[in-house]
Amino acid sequence: MKTLQRTLTIIKPDAVRRNAIGDIIEQFEKNGFRILAMKMLQISKHQAEQFYAVHASRPFFNTLTDFMSSGSLVVLALEKENAVADLRKLMGATNPANAEDGTIRRKWATNIEHNAIHGSDAEDTARFELSFFFAGYELAK
């Protein structure tokens, strides 16, 4: 039986600054993702640290959280069969130098830090990340 899955994606400040929001959302829709919820917001450094807490010990944690709190983000809750893996495929590799043609990062990412888009890396991460940005009533679809 095929089951629907939900995932969280963030259009990052570099992509927002480059007017890539519309192009990236079009890719979600063309590739069969249903948009359940969407909002544009800016987060604080502290909120970015909470969101990326799993990376707290990494050398890039400080620059990552500075960057993610540096401007507007667009966060979306997406639904599709196999949404977590399919979104990561559509995004392309974290480092755009390794991203395949036709992926969002290949087109819009500048480097491994300014890489245009985030997507949850597993189903349990998606649950945490969806609940970080959206209240239950916003996802009650």
**116 CB neighbour count, 10 Å cutoff:** 26
User: Strands, E, within 2-124: which ranges?
Assistant: 4-11, 34-41, 73-81, 117-119
By CB under 6 A, name the one of 118, 126, 129, 130 that touches ligand CMP.
118
Shortest separation between residue 113's beta carbon and ligand CMP, angstroms: 4
By CB under 6 A, name the one of 38, 64, 77, 84 that touches ligand CMP.
64
| CB environment 37-60: b (16+ within 10 A), e (fewer) | bbeeeebeeebbbebbeeeeeeee
Contact letters for ligand CMP, residues 8-47 (x by CB under 6 A):
----------------------------------------
* Closer of 37 and 68 to ligand CMP (Cβ): 68
Active site residues: 118
